[in-house]
Amino acid sequence: MAELVDFQNGKVICGRWKVSSQLGAGGCGAVYKVEDLFNKGFSAAMKVESNDVGNMGVLKLEVQVLAKLKDLPDAFRLYDMGKRKKYSFMVMSLGGQDLLNLAMKSPKTLSLPTIARIGIMCLSAIKSIHDVGFVHRDVKPGNFVQGCTTGRLSRLLYLIDFGLIRAYMKEGKDGEMKMRKARTTVALRGTFRYCSLNTHNRIEQGRVDDLYSLLHVLQAINRGLPWDGMKDEKEIMKKKAMDPNIIFKDAPPEFVTIAEYLMTVSTIEKPDYVKVYKLFYEELERNNVNFLTPYEWETKKNDVNTMVEPSKHERKTFQKDSDEKLQYRIYPQLHPKKFEDAGVQLKC
Ligand SMILES: Nc1ncnc2c1ncn2[C@@H]1O[C@H](COP(=O)(O)OP(=O)(O)OP(=O)(O)O)[C@@H](O)[C@H]1O
């Protein structure tokens, strides 16, 4: 069993990063909020992993993925990395709360348009990972983090924790990127509560499996899943094989359409992200909600809208714009066009 790395507040790493609090802890390490002593007022998140984990260590892989995401406008940045005698670390952008906390701490029950809107934020985050050639394989609420604690980015969700990630493409001899061949024996990777039925059946996961997990995540924070509380894998599988009308009975009706669509997509195919986006968006339209509508967890005190919404001057400039257009000026990454094609940077 690897010895856990446990940093006290005030510890300074590399003469630069001063630990100010712990943000989370996992099996092999922990995540800390750190202050940059070279850049007053700047904070970041430091993920630390014990070197005792040997080949099981995932930090190196996480660094590689973050480095690949660097050209995307809205992705966490990698600021530093290093290895000490007992531990390895990486420093990345500091996000806000994770989806698990947001959903649990929300003073009000999350409405269906909020659930669908979270669906779009998560879809965008998942697509970014797919676009750089990886399947995440551990889509769960604790792995979606607000882009920032306050302001515009606090309404966006980014995917973190690339410990179980797997490349689905590889460079062929001709230099072209090709799909990797599916393995015949695959160990289960992911979380029982959220993973797809394919994953339980030990089938090589593809992009579609991350999207199945997303539906499970959304239903879990909505009204819960029919297999909640179950431990036996066979029993869980039986429930997951049920009619989507039963699994998603209290969800926006489009969830069933999305689930039925995903059943038609093979693990090697690229899912139609725009189709899924548009189905989520129908719930927003029905309820007159858009990306500028405050979330249930946003309080007056921490009102993002004062920062997210345009100033009076900007309002005047944009006055001819409808709210629908305005939302895309503020959140261009959520425009349906952005979900259209790969923008793939599959070359290493
Ligand atoms: N960049 C970040 N900004 C803010 N919080 C973060 C960041 N990265 C991680 N966290 C927080 O730390 C928690 C654990 O992070 P992460 O999932 O990467 O660690 P882990 O050791 O792999 O955990 P687990 O074993 O639970 O998956 C997250 O759920 C989140 O709350």
Closest atom of ligand 1 relative to the 160 alpha carbon: 18
Same domain, 162 and 272: yes
Of the residues 91, 125, 148, the one at which a domain ends: 91
Catalytic residue IDs: 138
Q: Is the pLDDT of residue 33 over 80?
A: yes
Q: Where are any strands of DSSP class E within the chain?
A: 12-13, 17-25, 29-36, 43-50, 78-83, 87-92, 134-135, 144-146, 157-159, 166-167, 169-171, 177-179
Residue 19, domain CATH: 3.30.200.20
Query: What's the whole-number average pLDDT of the chain?
Result: 88
Give per-residue pLDDT as tens, 309-321.
Answer: 555 665 555 555 6
What's this model's pTM, rounded to 2 decimal places? 0.91
pLDDT > 90 fraction of the chain, expressed in percent and rounded: 66
Give per-residue pLDDT as tens, 126-182.
Answer: 999 999 999 999 999 999 999 998 888 899 999 999 989 999 988 888 888 888 888
Rounded to the nearest angstrom, the distance between the alpha carbon of 243 and the centre of ligand 1 is 33
Same domain, 235 and 278: yes
- For 239, how many CA atoms within 13 A lie in the half-sphere containing its CB? 20
Same domain, 107 and 198: yes
Rounded to the nearest angstrom, the distance between the alpha carbon of 23 and the centre of ligand 1 is 7
